[in-house]
Amino acid sequence: MPGRDGTAAAGRPIGVFDSGVGGLSVVTELRRLLPQEDIVYLADTAHCPYGPRPAAEIHALCEQASAALLAWGAKIIVVACNTASAAGLAPLRARYGAEVPIVGLVPAVKPAVALTRSGTIGVLATPGTLRGALLAEVIARFATPAGVTVVSRAVPGLVEAVEAGALDAPETRALLAEVLQPMLAAGADVLVLGCTHYPFLRPPIAAVAGPGLRTVDSGVGVARQTRRLLEERGWLQPAPHAGRLALYTSGDPATVGPVMARLLAAEDVVCASWR
């Protein structure tokens, strides 16, 4: 585990996990901001999606994933899952926070409020995120004082579409049309992508909604927070170093690997089994 020796800690990887492949949208931002850092990514596809699961089960799954990342030497853990973050980061930080910093996701309501011109924003999230207190807190903190109306919706099936690599399938577009049309009718001009899977759906979202709807997500903010925490501790990997990406899944690597390759726009993707 990372200890008081900052030099030793700096050489360890960033650990990232999600319920599935969606957290690769966060990994993309981490690699863009911190190209020298090694990253270990765990896709818990055997239990995806997390959204419909009760909070206690989500906590247990998060603890299992975090324990695996720590066993692989992670110096920081990024919870690249809105549902897991919404279910409560406190238990995870209570369990592992003394060993490493833990970064969670906050729905990107604040930047959406800054961008809207109509005074209405949409939030596309999972059932777990909508149930959690975190979304309500950021709405109360940023949207309500600004007089911005928030239209929140969850649509079962979108996470599964990304997991299957069916990003622009007719069924995916139909699901998006079902959720976006009421938001557009309500006047929303900014859409918060409240699940790490959803940034991969930007092209079909634009096709359905047109150019008038802007989208925001939490990936850049998470990458910046990760860099800040590592900087504070002197745990940044010194440059020059070509950061490596190790990919694991609790599901079938033969199925998950090709989807990861497509989402990362890379041909040399190797996905291994976690269990």
48 catalytic, yes or no? no
- Bridge partner residues of 222 (DSSP): none
Q: What is the pLDDT of residues 30-84, one digit of tens each?
A: 999 999 999 999 999 999 998 888 889 999 999 999 999 999 999 999 999 988 9
Instruction: Round to whole Å and give the CA distance between 95 and 33.
Output: 28
Place of tokens 């989208």: 215
- What confidence tens digit (pLDDT) does each residue in 208-246 have? 999 899 999 999 999 999 999 999 999 999 878 889 999
* E-state strands within 26-84: 39-43, 76-79
Q: What is the pLDDT of residue 7?
A: 60
CB burial of residue 201 (10 Å; 0-12, 13-18, 19+): buried
Residues 110-134 have pLDDT tens digits of: 999 999 999 999 999 988 888 888 8
Q: How far apart are CA 86 and CA 104, in angstroms?
A: 9
Q: CATH 3.40.50.1860 occupies which residues in the chain?
A: 6-105+220-273, 109-217
Please name the CATH architecture into which domain 109-217 falls.
3-Layer(aba) Sandwich (3.40)
Catalytic annotation on 195?
Answer: yes
Which residue among 48, 62, 195, 271 is the active-site one? 195
Q: What band does 1 get if pLDDT is binned at 50, 70 and 90?
A: very low
What CATH number does domain 6-105+220-273 carry, 3.40.720.10, 3.40.50.1370, 3.40.50.1950, 3.40.50.1860?
A: 3.40.50.1860
Closest CA to 11 of 229, 222, 243, 232: 243
What is the pLDDT of the chain when averaged over all its residues? 93
- For residue 228, CA distances in Å to 21, 105, 200, 221, 235 come to 25, 15, 26, 11, 10
Report how far residue 124's alpha carbon sits from residue 189's, in angstroms, rounded to the nearest whole number. 13
pLDDT tens, residue by residue, 154-202? 888 999 999 999 999 999 999 999 999 999 999 999 999 999 999 999 9
